[in-house]
Amino acid sequence: MRARGRGTESFKSYSREHRIKSEGKPEIVATSAFHGSTQYNPEALLVAALSSCHMLWYLHLCSQNGIVVTRYVDEAEGTMIEDAAIGGKFERAVLRPRVTILKGDKQKAGTLHHEAHRLCFIANSMNFPVDCEPTLETA
């Protein structure tokens, strides 16, 4: 965060924009979800982490089970509620992966979503429900 004007003198006097950096990785520009920015915000990054973790486990499991995935798109979303006592929290997240398989058992491909969800470090760390509603298509 860089001070703008008088820093945190008032609610509107400072920028929420910040940069997330890690050695050897591209920088991410982030800000608050509540100020209408087009930048990433912590809430969107959390949902993205859930989606990414699930996808990576799922693809790994498919490769181990002879299922060839040619397309994977997730329309994940999180539902948050405001709470005067704590500020707010996630109430639920839903992953909606749409997967296209070229080869392999379609039924097995469906059950591997359950296994991927069970193995996902991020989902296992949440204190709210993370549901998965997959759709499978064949190429």
What would the pLDDT profile of 60-69 be if each residue is shown by its tens digit? Answer: 999 999 999 9
Q: What is the CATH number of the domain that holds 84?
A: 3.30.300.20
Are residues 79 and 122 both part of a single domain? yes
Q: Given a cut of 90, is residue 49 above it in pLDDT?
A: yes
Are residues 58 and 116 both part of a single domain? yes
Do residues 75 and 54 touch, judged by C-beta distance below 8 A? no
- Residue 87 is part of which domain span? 42-138
pTM, to two decimals: 0.84
Are residues 33 and 64 both part of a single domain? no
Are residues 17 and 64 both part of a single domain? no
- What are 124's two structure tokens? 């296992």
Mean confidence (pLDDT) of the chain: 88
Are residues 9 and 49 both part of a single domain? no
Distance from C-alpha of 105 to C-alpha of 117, rounded to nearest angstrom: 19
Higher pLDDT, 97 or 26: 97
Do residues 134 and 54 touch, judged by C-beta distance below 8 A? no
* 19 CB-contact burial (10 Å; exposed 0-12 / middle 13-18 / buried 19+): exposed
Are residues 36 and 46 both part of a single domain? no
Residue 20 confidence (pLDDT): 81
Do residues 92 and 131 touch, judged by C-beta distance below 8 A? yes
Are residues 30 and 78 both part of a single domain? no
105 contacts: CB under 8 Å, gap ≥ 6: 65, 66, 67
Closest CA to 57 of 107, 124, 105: 124
For the segment 22-32, the average pLDDT, to the nearest whole number, is 83
Are residues 36 and 58 both part of a single domain? no
Are residues 36 and 47 both part of a single domain? no
Task: Report the 10 Å Cβ neighbour count for 49.
Answer: 16
Are residues 18 and 48 both part of a single domain? no
* 54 CB-contact burial (10 Å; exposed 0-12 / middle 13-18 / buried 19+): buried
Are residues 35 and 54 both part of a single domain? no
Total structural domains within the chain? 2
Are residues 67 and 129 both part of a single domain? yes
